[in-house]
Amino acid sequence: MKSNYIYIDDENPDALASIVNGFNDTGLINVELLDLSTIKNFEQVKERIQEINPDGLIIDLRLDGEGPNRLNFPATTLAQDLRTMAAAGSIRPVPLILCSTSSKMRATYDIDKSSHDLFDYKFEKSITPDWFKFSRKLKSLASSYNWLLEERKTIDEILNRTDLQLLDPRVFERFIDKEVQNQVSDITQFIVNELFHHPGVLIKENILAARYGIDIEKSKEGWERIKESLLIPSKYTGVLSEGWDRWWADKAEEIFKSNTTKRLQELNASQRVEYLRKLGFENINEASPLPYCKSSEFWAICEAYKKPLDPLEGFKIFETNEPKPWQEPKYISFGAELERKGRDKGIRPHPSELVRINDLKEKLTK
């Protein structure tokens, strides 16, 4: 069954048709543009939302921009009121999705930390959006909200894992404390923002491949075999797994050790791949160090290149919110910084790394 979303944007409907069609053409969700031409105020917007009772909302960041259907309030104001109403039980809680251009995101939303807990997911309007990727995530959010609303779930049920006590207890303490009443949005935002979007107990595919020493682009067939057989027990299958592919980091490490008797951290990329070949996995190639790097003891990726990186040769990037103690830093490589690659997406070194970077630049010019 398709999930129904309302899209709220003050731009001309004709200009927004490509976005609506982009979502609807995937066949995963149904998106309907809210007609703002007859809506005059804040209360009327909320009334229309209550009448339609959608499975989720997509809201443009600057509803008070320069569009022909301009409203006198921004997306954050609407989202705050909807969250308050949902907490009070006057409306059904639904996922709130923020959309805008990358420049507007960085200029307003990224620096307004107080609004970050209002939205479950954000995507940037671009020339060639990946509509299937976005739709898959929005469908997963809507179905997860409905499942979580059925009855109170334990954190074991939510994450579909029964041995969470093996992990850092600080990760899930807010969900174990019975005095804390978590809203559905608290759960989904924690999983997306703290577990999915930041390496730690869960990791994404390119980091997983880096830790196994594999060059994904040169090993597509062999890597698929490894994921579909060897790594299945480490695949995350909890809430929102239909929208995001993630793997349990500790389980992925244990799988390698139990099959080879070796710890990943003890080996370089070539050695890791050699052990995998001995297990019968062919058509795999080890990843190579990035420009200006020498080590192949990969454990992270360069966020600009999206390629394997030894954290000791990388530089921590600046993040709007500092990583939690149980989260791992994100890194950029020296070569990417020289090229200023990723700056258009807000990827830049943490100020604490600038002295080290400048020292390397000086050595390079000598």
Tell the residue number behind the tokens 């339609």, with chain if given: 52
* DSSP annotation string for 199-240: SSSEE-HHHHHHHTTB-STT-HHHHHHIIIIITGGGB--STT
**Contact criterion met (CB below 8 Å) for 63 and 7:** no
- The type of residue at 238 is G
Count CB atoms within 10 A of the CB of residue 151.
7
pLDDT value for 89 = 86
Name the strand (E) or helix (H) holding 246: none
- Asked if 319 and 346 touch (Cβ cutoff 8 Å), the reply is no
265-282 as b/e, with b when 16 or more CB fall inside 10 Å? Answer: eebbbebbbebbeeeebe
In the block, which residue shows the tokens 């921009």? 65
pLDDT score recorded for residue 107: 46
pLDDT, position 114: 53
Domains defined for the chain, CATH in brackets: 3-147 (3.40.50.2300), 152-196 (no CATH), 294-366 (no CATH)
The structure tokens 């995998």 sit at: 276
Give the separation between CA 297 and CA 266, rounded to whole angstroms: 8
The single-letter DSSP state of residue 39 is: -
- What is the separation of C-alpha 149 from the centre of its chain, rounded to a whole number of angstroms? 23
Strand-pairing partners, residue 122, are 98
pTM over 0.85: yes
Please give the torsion angle defined by the CA atoms of residues 80, 111, 127 and 12, in that order, rounded to the nearest 10 degrees. 40
96-100 and 56-60 beta bridge pairing: parallel
Q: Are 313 and 294 in contact (CB under 8 A)?
A: yes
pLDDT of res. 104 = 52
pLDDT at 228: 96
Kindly tell me the burial class for residue 48, based on how many C-beta atoms sit within 10 Å of its own C-beta (0-12, 13-18, 19 or more): middle
Q: Give me the tens of pLDDT residue by residue for the chain, a chain 366 residues long.
A: 789 999 999 888 898 999 999 999 999 999 999 998 888 788 898 999 999 999 999 999 888 777 777 778 888 889 999 999 998 888 899 999 999 865 555 545 454 555 568 999 998 887 678 999 999 999 999 999 999 999 889 999 999 999 999 999 999 988 877 656 788 999 999 999 999 999 999 999 999 999 999 999 999 999 999 999 999 999 999 999 999 999 999 999 999 999 999 999 999 999 999 999 999 999 999 999 999 999 999 999 999 999 999 999 999 999 988 899 999 999 999 999 999 999 988 899 999 999 999 999 998 887
Please tell me whether residue 31 adopts helix, strand or coil conformation.
Answer: strand
DSSP state of 60: E
Q: What is the pLDDT of residue 64?
A: 76
- Backbone torsion region of residue 296, taken as left when φ is above 0, otherwise alpha when ψ lies between -120 and 50, otherwise beta: alpha
- Distance, in Å, from the CA atom of 102 to the CA atom of 124, rounded to the nearest integer, reads 6
- Name which of 190, 147, 158 is nearest 55 in CA terms: 147
9: alpha, beta or left? (left if phi > 0; alpha if psi -120 to 50): beta
